[in-house]
Amino acid sequence: MNLQCVNCGHDIGKLFVQYSPGNIRLMKCENCNAVADPYIECEFMILLIDLILHKTKAYRHLLYNMFSLEVNNIKGMMWKFNLAYIFLDAYMISVLRTSKDDWDSSGSLLLPVLTCLKVLIDVLLGNFIAVSVVLVGTKVLLTSTFNIMRYKEILLALLISSYFKLFLIATMVWEFPSSVFFIIDVFVLSSNAVALRVMTRLRTSRCVAVCFAAHSAKFLVTDFLMPLFSISF
List per-residue pLDDT tens for the chain, 233 residues long. Answer: 678 999 998 988 888 888 877 788 899 998 999 999 999 888 889 999 999 999 999 999 988 888 764 555 677 778 888 899 999 998 888 887 764 444 444 555 666 677 778 888 888 998 999 999 998 898 888 875 656 667 888 888 899 899 999 999 988 888 888 888 899 999 999 999 999 999 888 899 999 999 999 999 988 887 766 655 554 44
**Distances, alpha carbon 112 to alpha carbons 52, 59, 92, 95, 199, in Å:** 36, 40, 16, 13, 41
Helix, coil or strand: residue 99: coil
d(CA 48, CA 137): 28
Q: What is the rounded CA–CA span in Å between residue 211 and residue 25? A: 38
Question: What pLDDT score does 35 carry?
Answer: 92
- The two most distant CA atoms of the chain are separated, in Å, by 69
**pTM summary value:** 0.84
Q: What is the pLDDT of residue 100?
A: 45
Which three-class secondary structure state does DSSP give residue 35? strand
The DSSP line for 41-79 is: GS-HHHHHHHHHTT-HHHHHIIIIIIS-TTSTTHHHHHH
Sort 38 into a burial class: Cβ within 10 Å, 0-12 / 13-18 / 19+.
middle
| CB-count burial class (<10 Å; 0-12, 13-18, 19+) for 124 | middle
- Rounded to 5 degrees, what are φ and ψ at 178? -65, -20
Instruction: Give all strands (DSSP E) within the chain, no chain letters.
Output: 16-20, 23-26
CA 229 to each of CA 56, 82, 135, 223: distance values in angstroms, whole numbers, following the listed order: 41, 26, 27, 11
Work out the burial of residue 16: count CB atoms within 10 Å of its CB; fewer than 13 is exposed, 13-18 middle, 19 or more buried: middle
* Cα–Cα distance measured from residue 37 to residue 14, given in angstroms and rounded to the nearest whole number: 10
Q: Which has the closest alpha carbon to 169: 95, 98, 88?
A: 88
Task: Quote the pLDDT of residue 112.
Answer: 67
pLDDT of residue 214: 93
pLDDT of residue 189: 94
Cα atoms found within 13 Å of the Cα of residue 80, Cβ hemisphere only:
8
